[in-house]
Structure 1
Amino acid sequence: MTLSGPRPEWLTFDCYGTLIQWDEGLMAAIETILSDEVATVDPAAFIATFDGHEHALEAERPHRSFRTVSALALEKTMAAFGLRFDAADAEILTGSIGRMPPFPEVVETLRRLKEAGFKLAIISNTDDAIIAGNVSQLGGVIDRVITAEQAGAYKPTAQIFQHAWDSLGISRDALVHICASPHLDLVAARNLGFRTIWIDRGTSRKPPSDYRPEARVPSLDHVPGLLRAAGWMT
């Protein structure tokens, strides 16, 4: 799989799982919340259940803040595992999200992409206040941050992507979107027709069977090589 077409003006990124260690940070928060009970919980099953509730809630109308969605998803997940939920648990989770760190290769790779002349934006299913702490860890190279809060909608809907493109003043052909969330971003790419690079970090999340991203790599530091191969970066 190779990239082709015009050189993109913008590289847009999913945040959690792509740039920021979401699964790892989520489990760290859950370990704090569950304390001694965490030994009885299968981490992969807990995350999968949480993901399912989170995405179902994001699809509902009217739009809810991510702070509200994550609290409700956590409550439903804990109930599914027979665990007691307290409102303070949700505060532990949402408070931890902005402190979740980037993957080790991310800051240096973003710097290289910025120095190559690309503009960098994040499109994320979150609230402005929550993601601010994550963006502050990315080396000051992100030009724009576009959230579900701003768009009033979550991925994979067209609304959030159209809001992002309108905000950036570009068409879908002027960007490549880089993501690790095939169940959200690659579904949107299939439906809307924009180019993607899938960062396949080895989770159980898989792309839709009727869609293939333009490229697939195991981590963000492989992206500059793809862009050089396409003639977009020296």
Structure 2
Amino acid sequence: MASTNFRPQYISFDCYGTLINFQLDATTRHLLSGRLAEEQWPAFKAMFRGYRYDQVCGDYYAYEQVLEDAFNRVCRRWGLEPTEGAGARFGDAVRGWGAHDDVPRPLEIMGRNYPLVILSNADHSFLDISVPRLGATFHAVYSAEQAGAYKPRYQAFEFMLDSLAASPEDFLHVSSHTRYDLMPAHDLGFTNTVYFDRGYDPHSPGYNYTTVRSLDELNGQLGL
């Protein structure tokens, strides 16, 4: 954070991966059952992640279809047939995920002291199920569906700013994803950002974020 005395007007979060335990591997493996050698899995997994990112850099469309299209693009790269209904399978999996074990208690403490906001790369129907599992009260929950754009597109962040009639300087933005959140937030003038390091992304220190490994650590930095 820019200053240890900084008191944000809002603390905003990415949702899936940062607060909700992102567990796409099990469903992906099931869809690939018998079609991919085990030693090929790490490379397929990394490519699938990259294609999910590429898929959301264009115009908004439904999240289930984003997952299906990204998966099928990778399958084609590996010479595998697309899987009919893959998006619905992924969607069912996402709706079944819960909060990381280390989230509800410190997030509830944080929410008693600051207005909490979610800016998520999911449709609102997913968030309606997932957010109540986080154990905290949120001032606002914004979806890519509402914004008409996915992060890392600036439009997603601008929707949050416009909806709250706020400026980037009013926020402490927290995410476990550098490419989706912290890089574009930096470019848009968010001067107080936090990388919640869950091991998803390599460190990119040039983007001037603070790194924490738990919400308890972040609460400590906020004096809670």
Normalising by structure 2, what TM-score?
Answer: 0.90
Match of 1:222 among 204, 217, 220: 217
Secondary structure in 2 aligned to 1:136? helix
Mapped to 2, the partners of 1:131 and 1:29 lie a distance apart of: 19
Give 1:8-157 correspondences, 5 Å limit: 8-22=8-22, 25-37=23-35, 40=38, 42-61=40-59, 63-115=60-112, 117-157=113-153
Matched with 2:197 is 200
Q: After superposing the two structures, state which structure 1 stretch, 146-155 or 76-85, moved more.
A: 76-85
| Distance in 2 (alpha carbons) for counterparts of 1:72 and 1:60 | 13
Structure 1 unmatched runs, 5+ = none
SS in 1 for 2:92: helix
After TM superposition, the score normalised by the length of structure 1 is 0.86
Residue deviations 1:63-115 (CA, integer Å, cap 9, x gap): 22222211100111223334332222221111111211211111111111012
The one-letter amino acid of 1:224's match is: N
What is the aligned length? 223
- How much is the aligned-residue C-alpha RMSD, in angstroms? 2.1
Name the stretch that deviates more: 95-104 or 82-91: 82-91
Q: Residue 56 of structure 1: CA displacement? A: 1.4
Return the letter of the residue paired with 1:106.
V
Is the alpha carbon distance of 1:39 and 1:223 closer, same or farther for their aligned partners in structure 2, counting shifts above 3 Å?
A: farther
Q: Tell me, what secondary structure is at the counterpart of 1:129?
A: helix
In structure 2, stretches of 5+ residues that fail to align are none
User: Residues 171-186 of structure 1 correspond to what in structure 2 (within 5 A)?
Assistant: 171-186=167-182
Match of 1:166 among 162, 165, 171: 162
- Provide the C-alpha distance between the structure 2 equivalents of 1:157 and 1:171, rounded to a whole number of angstroms: 17
* Cα 1:82–1:219 shift into 2, 3 Å: farther
Deviation at 1:37, TM superposition (A): 4.5
SS of the residue corresponding to residue 96 of structure 2 reads coil
Q: Which whole-Å deviations, capped at 9, do the CAs of 1:178-216 have from their partners, x for residues lacking one?
A: 00000111111221121101011123x125463220x10
Per-residue CA deviations over 1:153-175 (Å, capped at 9, x if unaligned) read 11122211111012123221221
- SS of the aligned residue for 2:194 comes to strand
Q: In the aligned structure 2, how far is the partner of 1:82 from the partner of 1:222? A: 45
